[in-house]
Amino acid sequence: MLYDVIVVGSGISGLYAALYARRAGLNVALICKSNPLRSNSAVASGGINAVLKTTRQDSIREHISDTLKGADKLGRFSSVSAMVAGAEEIINELQAMGVVFDTTDEGTIAQRPFGGTKASRTCYIADKTGASITQTLLVQCRKEGVNILQNHVMLSIATYKDQLSGITLLRRRDSQVIAFACKSLILAGGGYAGIYRGHSTNSQESSGDVIAIALRAKMRLSNMEFVQFHPTTLANSGTLISEAARGEGAYIVDESGERFTDELLTRDKLSRDIVKHQLSGHSVYLDFRHLGEELIDKKLPSARKHALNGAGIDILNELLPITPSAHYTMGGIWVRDNTSTDIPNVFACGECAYSGVHGANRLGGNSLLEAAYFGRLAGIEASRAAKKGEFHPIDYALVDKESRYVEAILEGENRFNINTMRRNLGNNLYKNAGVFRTHDTLANALEYVHYLMKMSSGLCCVNKERSDNVELISKVIFHRIGGIGYVSFFMRKCAVNLYY
């Protein structure tokens, strides 16, 4: 198949990119591993930041300042400024597409405070903001003619004389390796916090496989050491309890009901406070009891649902046990301000990209804004490049190589349990590359990653079926992710926000 633009990833960034490439009159394909609504964007609950004309006691300058301060001055000023300046336009456009934000009694968009901000600038739809935006964009993409190709897993970038020619993919319905040609490629495949298995708010699909593909294509990565831990997740499962809870007034307390920190600190500082309190022998909880049933059911329905389903606790009258979990990755594929990468006509956006807006720590509410703003920009830039570009031949030796690789996993003898390996990796990373880390603990993490990668050669399929073989997909991805980024941990000696 030939497409003008291929987008890999179906979160907000990928959907926005595909939509804008399609609006340029091009033939666009959106590639996703499974259901397009199974992205991290769809479960992002808190909100999206923007300084609106109706926002009180706030300004674009303050939003820029808060973002750069939260980033510990490692943010890229040009990217931050452009994103913040474009935020209101994004909100207006989402409204025009059908996103219904919560409103005040005066009929203006309601905004709540989030950690690290000086004002209430987070627009929201109860605590289901990401799902609402994702669903709206998906409907719009389908309406405008984007080709949505579910159940395809990207394997590699194909080039011809250092020019993009297309991508190779594993087609799930028959386990065949195929190739698509394209003039422009947009990578929007998400981050890698899911590799902290058992200690992450992400699904295991958030493995960083697209970032690993970029690395193998000799594209630069940046700031891979910065992993954000969300301070409030269910203690027994890592299920996210949105920052919206604290924005609406929930307290963080210990077993005595005593508050010991500022609930609206930035996530890095709050996670450290919680872990320190736990290490001193305390349990930590979220306390919603003073908020009342009306507010909780109107503004925090998902929090109540997750607490009931995940812990059997009704937050109306019980404390909810919490702990920090890996949530978001700051680093990724290095991009210029216009989302272009080291390979001509290849662009990256969203969590898989290092756009520079988050620096060493992301503020709550800025990720959905980044996804929308830079996704749209990537769609615009990729379509411009595609209109000027041409198709290049695909080297089918690469397709043959990938086919033999997949066949080896499918037909080989399995020696290890992938679920055990994933859990062990997650436990090791959480212990050694978690909220607190030292050179020695990072060395232990890297040594364990190398050990697992050697063992992964013995990961083959027990299930030999070729039709929608979930085991095959899992093992192909696990083989591929390797130790991306962990060497970069050793390149930063100082304590900086998420690297402490």
- Give the C-alpha separation, 278 to 283, whole Å: 6
CB 199 within 8 A of CB 430: yes
User: Considering only CA atoms, which of 249, 248, 260, 252 is closest in space to residue 235?
Assistant: 252
Clarify whether 304 is annotated catalytic. no
- Give the C-alpha separation, 5 to 345, whole Å: 10
Q: What's the 3-state SS for 136-151?
A: HHHHHHHHHCCEEECC
Tokens 């093992």 -> residue? 475
Cα 66 to chain center, whole Å?
21
Two tokens at 139?
Answer: 């409907």
Side chain identity at 134, as an amino acid letter?
Answer: T
Q: Which of 272, 304, 362, 480 is catalytic?
A: 272
- Sort 283 into a burial class: Cβ within 10 Å, 0-12 / 13-18 / 19+: middle
Show which residues are catalytic: 272
